[in-house]
Amino acid sequence: MSTPMGFGRMHRKEDARFIRGRGGYVDDVQLPGMLYGAVLRSPHAHAWIRSVDTAAAEAHPKVRAVITGATLAGLNLDWMPTLSADTQAVLATDKVRFQGQEVAFVVAEDRYSARDALELIDVDYEPLDPVIDARTALDEGAPVIRDDQEGRTDNRIFDWEAGDRAAADAVFARAEVTVSQDMLYPRVHPAPLETCGAVADFDKVTGKLTVWCPTQAPHAHRTLYAMVAGLPEHKIRVISPDIGGGFGGKVGIYPGYVCAIVGSIVTGRPVKWMEDRSENLMSTAFARDYHMRGEVAATRDGRIQAIRVKVLADHGAFNGTAQPSKFPAGFFHVFTGSYDIQAAHCEVTGVYTNKAPGGVAYACSFRITEAVYLVERMIDVLAAELGADPAELRMKNLLRPEQFPYTTPTGWEYDSGDYQKTLQLAMDMAGYDALRREQAEKRARGEPMGIGISFFTEAVGAGPRKHMDILGLGMADGAELRVHPTGKAVLRVSCQTQGQGHETTFAQIVAAELGISPDDVEVVHGDTDQTPFGLGTYGSRSTPVSGAATAMVARKVRERARQVASAMLEASPQDLEWSVGESGGAWTVAGTGASRTIQEIALAAHSNLELPDGVEGHLDATCVYNPPNLTYPFGAYICVVDVDPGTGQVKVRRFVAVDDCGNRINPMIVEGQVHGGLADGVGMALMQLMAFDEEGNHLGASFMDYLLPTALECPSWELGETVTPSPHHPIGAKGVGESATVGSPAAVVNAVIDALAPYGVRHADMPLTPAAVWRAIQGDPIRTDLAIT
Amino acid sequence: MQVPASFEFERAESVGHALELLERYGPEARLVAGGHSLIPMMKLRLAQPDALIDINGLAELSHLAVAGDTLVIGALVRHAALLADPDVGRYFPIFHEAERVIADPVVRNRGTVGGSLCQADPSEDLSAAFAAVRADAVIAGPGGSRTVSIRDFHVGPYETVVEPGEILTELRVPIRPGAGSAYVKVERRVGDWPVAAAGAYLRLGPGGVIAEAGLGLTAVGAEHFTAPEAEAYLIGKEPGEAVLREAGRIAAESCEPQADQRGPVDYKRHLAGELTFRALSRAAARADGSQS
Amino acid sequence: MRISVTVNGQTHVRDVEPRLLLVHFLRDELGLTGTHWGCDTSNCGVCVVQLDGVPVKSCTVLAVMADGHEVTTVEGLEKDGELDPVQQGFVQCHGLQCGFCTPGMLMTARWLLDRNPDPDEGEIREAISGQLCRCTGYENIVRSVRWAAENQEAKA
């Protein structure tokens, strides 16, 4: 594969270090004199803390500090703000509110001793009744979890609605057909293979704090540390090194990070803290946990007219979701999906429960995963009611190309789309009609086979700053580009790769704009001392926001090059034309052969060439990109499953995925992003689950119980593409990081339910484990969020 | 990450040396071979032995051979070795089918047959497989060796008849002509512990009737990992579908599964019957030569 | 206790606690941070190294159990400046994203090809079934190993 001058398939620049074991992740950071921290966690879901005795731990010969909630209270650091402007205990002082909550922090000479010392801390708990089932959180007399908040008498966090209730109700009142379905999108965890952790190094002499931490949003972390700890922001440097997967779970600030910082301040030495896998699953950001009721109104011939949704959202013990401030349910109100629907309304109620906080997370584009799952399941429920083919029903109701830009009943403006073409391509690739024939033959023999379709529209690239912020920080991102005298470039961006290949694709964007080789572009990211401010990488926003910033800053540099070229060529800037030929980018005097390459211009820009008044030397620029709108990637997925009715086992036989993410910078990387998201969909649909027993014990607190798909559960993915550029994005790209995770769970579940149709099954909740499938066939479905009894 | 508490470590040079070390360190010492059950428990600090005695160097426990009409399997034979051995596959497909679904290929490189049996986890596949084929376990102690039927080996969850000062040294499985065997497991995901599993061993006598029947049941609360009533029912009958289904029904009735996140009781009981039937069907086809 | 372990051809003698896990011996004692850890329970496989040529999960092996044995880590795959074909395959076929599972995958892939130079897709999937990847959906890992099988003599 040769290196293209701009867009196209090229091998990743970052691979060279990873295949040699030379990646640099946070646990690889070794500093002289470094100490190790470990967190003591609550075994109870809800309990008063009566006392914490640290004497024995402090007496351990290798222990250097033991920090408790009382220690932090003395520093006014025992509580910290969450990304949703709630508060969260750093180390509990009054009560523990979920199993796994942070209670104390030990700092010792080595990691083994730190762990040993945890056993020496004696905490006296007085257990309280927990709230585990979200459906009981608002019951009269339910234990009040957040009694730390003055005047609070219940567990309600918010009530929120979107759409037009009266218009939707009016359509329902006269509809020919209505269907209703309760469904749960259960609590899951992104479970990157690298857990969270931090190395904090506070230099007492300079007053500078350096924190190495695998964060998806290093600049937001720096600002929040400044706000929380009262440290001056210019004295804080956050370095996000190589990250072993994020998927949303590494957006927020966790108590362990704050403890590592305090540990370093207290001991005067660097402190490393790495959570173990159980800590990761029990305490860091979960995702979903949406209890939903969907209703659809339609005509008898299958024209969908209205959709209503009610959601009970389980937010855990602290409201720590990372939605833009105006949107407590994220972008869930994109639930009208890809369809032409007259009226829609949703109401969402958020509640506290005695479970871990979070909800930022897991490749969901701010709750769009839940919304897509809801609407795509409802389409299949409607198809079953009407006796219609689910593909035909979708085809009939999808938005048409001429409707774009399209404003949805809940206020979103979809930028561009050609939905029928995409669905048709997926059906052609799958051989849809032949599959339906095969299914009919197998059904006649009593062999359940299912075909599931999901069509999704994503809303990514948050976002326009007047509408979108997190804790008051607007969601615009910066880029800085510098071209050195020899024509080599350094790009600095605020987003942070966790495997998405930014070092490659962002170099390709610069390469395309400047007509230089991507090999000649170094991408710097993840270090707040070295990069411009921005909110980072989540919600599939890197290409839509930072990618746009990169293109814009490169165009600024190109314009500066035009001024320099005009001096070199002694021609008016207006007479110069930009072109990228085989030898690269160049400004040419129109109608002549007089031309200067970008490399020649770069050297001249740094030379003694006399420049006209008002033209600065050098070739560099900065840019802050404020997106005018979100971008709306979409796709059509078809999953084929076989079910063993005697055991309930599901085998995913095929999975066809056609994605339209606008223009593709590096198709190889785009396909890789899709592959990973599809595996996630299989995992969530079939096995990934965090359930809790009635005492609040976490039943998925290790990889023995929280199951992730292996190579043997995943089929060989069959990918296709259509390209509908975004009209407002500088390079027509839309973002793709989360598309497959958003779109795929519904396809798998729809396939399984389709297979079970002969047994009269219309719905069963994820994950569709063998037990869940078998019980669905028996007509006695399992409640998957609670312990199986 | 999670790390074990401190302990002393000794490397055994022979079975005799291992027995000496066990005596010296007393009941709080544990043998370690593959370590894939014990070390995770130690990391969770659910197990905190005073001493570990490493028996990985004992070549005398790594033998795997057919001796006359007996398959002899040393306790230190790795899962991967049992799975790779062609004689084991020829005489006892049940072991290959069980091994293929135990943990994963990398863990199977390390974990041992003896370690699995001594861990005595109620969800452990080999315990049922050995129960189905009526193996004998050979246990060495200070006073010499003793042989115990595998069906007397497990005395309860995580409990065996191996005393603190003893070592399981080998398993002996009788090879009989005209036999077939199979193992069938349902798991939530590859590498997971079973929701339920069943192994079957059938030997057909003159006229194609069942002369010997062995059943092994995993993770469904079957006493000693087996189902004697169902075995007795099969003797003297032709292995037709109705007979094998009835054996499955009897086996399911004899189980006492517990609900957990792998499934509710009714489902696990259903699986006990269904998987027993499926394992018996395949074992019968192998016994009469219609399936390899 | 004093142990002597040969890692990537070089013998290291160290005094270690018996409880030290092999993964920590490699990472913290020897500074070979290419081997990662991810789960504590030997489920994820990011800690896979070869012990006497056989892949094992180094989070579940004690360093003292490697005394007198040979360990090969990802850092030992490249020989005399030449990448192993499996390393090249992962680059050619985009077999990695975040890179965290990659070292373990490479060590198992190398072992598979040593035993079976021409594995089919199913055999590759089986071989890596004890190792999780959260990024690639495994598709390109399978292709990477196939690439290495077809290019066993490839020089970097």
The answer to whether residues A423 and A293 belong to one domain is yes
The stretch A12-20 carries a mean pLDDT of: 98
CATH topology (fold) of B8-54: 3.30.43
Within 10 A of A355 (CB to CB), how many other CB atoms are there? 28
Residue A7 is assigned to a structural domain of this protein: no
- Tell me how many domains chain A contains: 3
For chain C, helix (H) and strand (E) counts, in that order, are 5, 5
Tell whether C18 is within 8 A of chain B (Cβ).
yes
The answer to whether residues A515 and A651 belong to one domain is no
Tokens matching residue A312: 């009970």
Q: Where do you find CATH 3.30.390.50 in chain B?
A: 179-287
The answer to whether residues A305 and A270 belong to one domain is no
Q: Taking CB atoms and an 8 Å limit, are A770 and B263 in contact across chains?
A: yes
pLDDT per position as a tens digit, A60-117: 999 999 999 999 999 999 999 998 889 999 999 999 999 999 999 999 999 999 999 9
pLDDT per position as a tens digit, A631-647: 999 999 999 999 999 99
CATH topology (fold) of B179-287: Enolase-like; domain 1 (3.30.390)
Residue A214 is assigned to a structural domain of this protein: yes
Residue C37 with chain A: CB contacts under 8 Å: 27
Tell whether B6 is within 8 A of chain C (Cβ).
yes
Q: What are the CA-CA distances from residue B11 to residues B30, B51, C19, C43 (Å)?
A: 12, 11, 14, 27
Q: What is the pLDDT of residue A5?
A: 83
Q: Taking CB atoms and an 8 Å limit, are C56 and B106 in contact across chains?
A: yes
Tell whether A717 is within 8 A of chain C (Cβ).
yes
Tell whether B263 is within 8 A of chain A (Cβ).
yes
Q: Where do you find CATH 3.30.465.10 in chain B?
A: 59-174
Instruction: Give the closest of B1, B54, B106 to C40, CB-based.
Output: B1
Q: How far apart are CA A362 and CA C132, in angstroms?
A: 17
Amino acid (1-letter code) at residue A603: L
Q: Which residue of B has its CA nearest to C50?
A: B106
Tell whether C64 is within 8 A of chain B (Cβ).
yes
Interface of C with A in 22-51 (CB under 8 A): 24, 27, 31-41, 43-44, 46
Cβ-count burial of A783 within 10 angstroms (0-12 exposed, 13-18 middle, 19+ buried)? middle
Residue A21 is assigned to a structural domain of this protein: no
Residue A181 is assigned to a structural domain of this protein: no
Interface of C with A in 52-71 (CB under 8 A): none
Tell whether B84 is within 8 A of chain C (Cβ).
no
Q: Place A364 in a pLDDT band, splitting at 50, 70 and 90.
A: confident
The answer to whether residues A585 and A533 belong to one domain is yes
Of the candidates C129, C94, C132, the one whose C-alpha atom is nearest the C-alpha of residue C112 is C129
Task: Give the phi and the psi of residue C23 in degrees, each rounded to 5.
Answer: -60, -35
Residue A646 with chain B: CB contacts under 8 Å: 274, 278
Q: Taking CB atoms and an 8 Å limit, are A244 and C38 in contact across chains?
A: yes
The answer to whether residues A424 and A560 belong to one domain is no
Tokens matching residue C26: 């490699």
Tell whether B3 is within 8 A of chain A (Cβ).
yes
Q: Taking CB atoms and an 8 Å limit, are C130 and B39 in contact across chains?
A: no
Interface of A with C in 221-280 (CB under 8 A): 242-247, 276-278
Amino acid (1-letter code) at residue B291: Q
The answer to whether residues A731 and A692 belong to one domain is yes
Q: Taking CB atoms and an 8 Å limit, are A714 and C33 in contact across chains?
A: no
The answer to whether residues A268 and A395 belong to one domain is no
Mutation choice for B interface testing from C40, C60, C105, C133 by most B CBs within 10 A: C60
Q: Which range marks the domain in which residue A539 is found? A: 476-625
pLDDT per position as a tens digit, C85-113: 999 999 999 999 999 999 999 999 999 99
Q: How far apart are CA A486 and CA A599, in angstroms?
A: 6
ipTM of this complex > 0.90? yes
Mutation choice for A interface testing from B261, B269, B278 by most A CBs within 10 A: B261
The stretch A587-610 carries a mean pLDDT of: 96
The stretch A170-185 carries a mean pLDDT of: 98
Q: How far apart are CA B269 and CA A311, in angstroms?
A: 36
> Which of these three, A625, A657, A692, is where a domain ends?
A625
The stretch A187-195 carries a mean pLDDT of: 97
Maximum CA pair distance of chain C?
45
Share of chain A above pLDDT 70, in %: 100
Q: What is the pLDDT of residue A492?
A: 98
Of the candidates A759, A88, A127, A32, the one whose C-alpha atom is nearest the C-alpha of residue A448 is A759
Residue C126 with chain B: CB contacts under 8 Å: 105
Q: How far apart are CA A667 and CA A656, in angstroms?
A: 17
CA angle B124, B128, B131 (to 5 degrees): 140
pLDDT per position as a tens digit, A452-498: 999 999 999 998 999 999 888 999 999 999 999 999 999 999 999 99
Mutation choice for C interface testing from B6, B21, B39 by most C CBs within 10 A: B39
Residue B187 with chain C: CB contacts under 8 Å: none
For residue B214, whether the previous peptide bond is cis, meaning omega lies within 30 degrees of 0, is no
Domains and CATH numbers, chain C: 2-76 (3.10.20.30), 85-150 (1.10.150.120)
The answer to whether residues A264 and A377 belong to one domain is no
The answer to whether residues A384 and A358 belong to one domain is yes
Residue A648 with chain B: CB contacts under 8 Å: 186, 267
Mean residue pLDDT across chain A? 96
For residue A721, what is the domain's CATH number? Answer: 3.30.365.10
> Which of these three, A625, A659, A675, is where a domain ends?
A625
pTM confidence score: 0.98
- One digit per residue, pLDDT tens: chain B, 292 residues? 899 999 999 999 999 999 999 999 999 999 999 999 999 999 999 999 999 999 999 999 999 999 999 999 999 999 999 999 999 999 999 999 999 999 999 999 999 999 999 999 999 999 999 999 999 999 999 999 999 999 999 999 999 999 999 999 999 999 999 999 999 999 999 999 999 999 999 999 999 999 999 999 999 999 999 999 999 999 999 999 999 999 999 999 999 999 999 999 999 999 999 999 999 999 999 999 988 8
The answer to whether residues A219 and A313 belong to one domain is no
- Chain C: closest CA distance from residue A25 (Å): 9
Tokens matching residue C127: 């071989």
Q: Taking CB atoms and an 8 Å limit, are C134 and A112 in contact across chains?
A: no
Residue A99 is assigned to a structural domain of this protein: yes
The answer to whether residues A686 and A737 belong to one domain is yes
Residue B264 with chain A: CB contacts under 8 Å: 771, 775, 782, 788-789
- Chain B: closest CA distance from residue A698 (Å): 11
Q: Taking CB atoms and an 8 Å limit, are B106 and C19 in contact across chains?
A: no
Tell whether B176 is within 8 A of chain A (Cβ).
no
> Which of these three, A625, A641, A666, is where a domain ends?
A625
CA angle A556, A561, A563 (to 5 degrees): 100
Judge contact between B174 and B89, C-beta under 8 A.
no
Q: Place A144 in a pLDDT band, splitting at 50, 70 and 90.
A: very high
- Chain B: closest CA distance from residue A699 (Å): 8
Q: How far apart are CA A549 and CA A729, in angstroms?
A: 10
Tell whether A716 is within 8 A of chain C (Cβ).
yes
Sheet containing A304-314: which strands, arranged edge to edge?
A156-163, A343-351, A304-314, A287-298, A177-188
Q: Place A722 in a pLDDT band, splitting at 50, 70 and 90.
A: very high
Tell whether A278 is within 8 A of chain B (Cβ).
yes
> Where does B59-174 sit in CATH, by number?
3.30.465.10
The subunits that touch chain A, with at least 3 C-beta pairs less than 8 Å apart, are B, C
Given a cut of 70, is residue C156 above it in pLDDT?
Answer: no
pLDDT per position as a tens digit, B65-123: 999 999 999 999 999 999 999 999 999 999 999 999 999 999 999 999 999 999 999 99
Residue A19 is assigned to a structural domain of this protein: no
pLDDT per position as a tens digit, A300-341: 999 999 999 999 999 999 999 888 889 999 999 999 999 999
Instruction: Give the closest of A647, A700, A709 to B271, CB-based.
Output: A647
- Length of chain B in terms of residues written: 292
- Chain B: closest CA distance from residue A202 (Å): 24
Judge contact between B88 and C113, C-beta under 8 A.
no
Handedness of CA A736, A737, A740, A746 (dihedral sign): negative
Q: Place C155 in a pLDDT band, splitting at 50, 70 and 90.
A: low
Tell whether B188 is within 8 A of chain C (Cβ).
no
Q: Taking CB atoms and an 8 Å limit, are B262 and A646 in contact across chains?
A: no
Q: Place A164 in a pLDDT band, splitting at 50, 70 and 90.
A: very high
The answer to whether residues A297 and A263 belong to one domain is no
Within 10 A of A27 (CB to CB), how many other CB atoms are there? 23
Q: What is the pLDDT of residue A470?
A: 86
Q: Taking CB atoms and an 8 Å limit, are C19 and B4 in contact across chains?
A: yes
